[in-house]
Structure 1
Amino acid sequence: MIAVTLATLCAVVYGTADFFGGLATRRSRVLAVVVLSQTAGLALVVALLPFLPGAPTAQALAWGMAAGVSGAAGLVLFYRALATGVMSVVAPTTATTSAALPVLFGLATGERPETTALAGVALALVAVVLVSRDSSAATAGRGRGSLLASLAGGAGFGGFFVLLAQAPEGAGMWPLFGARLSSIGLIALLALVTRRTLRPGHGALRIIVTAGALDMAANVLFVLAQQRGLLSLVGVLVSLYPASTLLLARYVLKERLNAVQVTGIGFTLAAVALIAAA
């Protein structure tokens, strides 16, 4: 039950972070948003390290750095999709892909959730597909244009969860430290090679810092949840984050929700309940 609670809270925080990240990419270049938000996240995890148990072993840092590379690639693609597409479509499309990888990996490596939990997993995957449906004429073209970036971003996020879960027990939050070091270095190098500015747009810095701090808080919640539950269940619960992104987009940006999306939100709640009951 603790793992389910942590994973569900993680999804809410991830969705809120993605909302702020999407807003930031409409005011600044994608690489600037990623580097600055990741730097804010690094500062947060450094501040948390003295208060959370864990040892900085080479194995823990290596798995974290590998996860950081995968996550950074996913984040660049995801933010680009958010900047060019519709937020309430991009986020769930990405989540569907990111949910599939941890579930498949967990089952392939011997995890065997109870039947009720598996039913919740199936319902959750249906939920993110339903939430992603937006057939309005005004948004259809933008959705198609960002589809590939959304799918690739989801693969990067799914890889991040799988790789981070391979860190040894007792590593604490040190894998997240390694993940942030590698992701910041990778994106900064990419910006240097492509000669892209890392200067934030006017009025965007606070939004970027908020997105980065929330993203790291969600990462911490994921690590805590994964340490206490099955990756195949935690991963799919975390993937429900588009529900909070969608609701924020609805009430802040006034993006409209159709009946199918509302049904998807209902399925999201039912999926959490089924997994929690297992």
Structure 2
Amino acid sequence: MVLATVCAVVYGTADFFGGLATRRSRVLAVVVLSQTAGLVMVVALLPFLPGTPTIKTLAWGMAAGVSGSVALVLFYRALATGVMSVVAPLTATASAILPVLFGLATGERPEPVALGGVVLALLAVLLVSRGSSPAATAGRSYGSVLTSLAAGAGFGGFFILISQAPEGGGIWPLFGARLASITLIALLALFTGRTLRPGPGACHIIVVAGALDMIANVLFVFAQQRGLLSLVAVLVSLYPASTLLLARYVLGERLNTVQVVGIGFTLAAVALIAAS
């Protein structure tokens, strides 16, 4: 499970940079440019990592890419409008629960401690969503909470779909995923008239976020090929730990007491699920 743990650290760092980028650029610009950086990286890695690009492999990857790109748009929007140290744990909890439920439906049987973690995660959602700001700000906060949960569902879908690709495909599913996500976001930007030009000083941050995200994806693919999806996905979902640390010491974010308890419950819930 070392790969999954390292993957979590890299995902969390990528999300931190992605969150910074969305405060300087429009969300669609951040997503499509970061995904393009990831595509360049995966193409560079293809000659060094064995795999066969079958239609089935690419199809599962493209399906995962659609789910992941929608999730990324929602996630970056939540990061841009909410508190990073709240958005990241909520998204992680939702993304962890779905693979567990999928595993149960397909025959995996996690230990009771993992199911206890799912219950704890639901309680954590209620606690983290309680802010102490005025009504207008509170409405904005609840909006970011709902967006975070929707993003988590999309990421959970990405984990599930990418895990269905044949093992012999190597990282070709990620090529399909990135191709689909870039196409989808570019078309969305075209039809809505949104610009894909990054804001001043944001381009290098976006590239870093995209490169780290792809490294994390590669680690996830190899980790889930070597372990149960229900365990790997929840270990990967520990990524808010690095996001929280960066948000705390780089951005100086502060939380109220109830939210701090909720974040603790969130991380504890993911840890319980992973410990099964």
Q: TM-score, normalised by structure 1?
A: 0.88
CA, structure 1 residues 204+168, in 2 after alignment: closer, same or farther (shift >3 Å)? same
Other-structure match for 1:160: 158
How many residues align structurally? Answer: 274
Q: Percent identity?
A: 80
Other-structure match for 1:137: 133
Matches within 5 A, 1:12-161: 12-115=9-112, 125=121, 129=125, 132=128, 135-137=131-133, 140-161=138-159
CA, structure 1 residues 248+127, in 2 after alignment: closer, same or farther (shift >3 Å)? farther
Shift of 1:50: 1.4
Shift of 1:208: 0.2
For structure 2, which runs of at least 5 residues remain unmatched after alignment? Answer: none
* Paired residues of 2:234 and 2:273 also in contact (CA < 8 A): no
Correspondent of 2:192 among 194, 199, 214: 194
For structure 1, which runs of at least 5 residues remain unmatched after alignment? Answer: none
Correspondent of 1:217 among 206, 212, 215: 215
* Paired residues of 2:96 and 2:270 also in contact (CA < 8 A): no
Shift of 1:155: 1.4
Tell me the distance in 2 between the aligned counterparts of 1:111 and 1:269: 23
Shift of 1:168: 0.8
CA, structure 1 residues 113+148, in 2 after alignment: closer, same or farther (shift >3 Å)? closer
Tell me the distance in 1 between the aligned counterparts of 2:151 and 2:7: 18
Tell me the distance in 2 between the aligned counterparts of 1:243 and 1:128: 15
| Residues 215-254 of structure 1, C-alpha deviations (whole Å, 9 max, x = no match) | 1111111111111111111111222212221121111110
Other-structure match for 2:8: 11
Describe the SS at the equivalent of 2:131. coil
CA, structure 1 residues 240+121, in 2 after alignment: closer, same or farther (shift >3 Å)? farther
Shift of 1:129: 4.1
* Paired residues of 1:131 and 1:243 also in contact (CA < 8 A): no
Q: Quick check: 266-275 or 7-16, which moved more?
A: 266-275
CA, structure 1 residues 249+93, in 2 after alignment: closer, same or farther (shift >3 Å)? same
CA, structure 1 residues 152+256, in 2 after alignment: closer, same or farther (shift >3 Å)? same
Letter in 1 for 2:175: F
Tell me the distance in 2 between the aligned counterparts of 1:235 and 1:90: 18
Letter in 2 for 1:84: T
CA, structure 1 residues 277+38, in 2 after alignment: closer, same or farther (shift >3 Å)? closer
CA RMSD of aligned residues (A): 2.5
Describe the SS at the equivalent of 2:92. helix
Q: TM-score, normalised by structure 2?
A: 0.89
Letter in 1 for 2:189: A
| Residues 26-69 of structure 1, C-alpha deviations (whole Å, 9 max, x = no match) | 10011100000000011111111111121111100000000000
* Paired residues of 1:8 and 1:272 also in contact (CA < 8 A): no
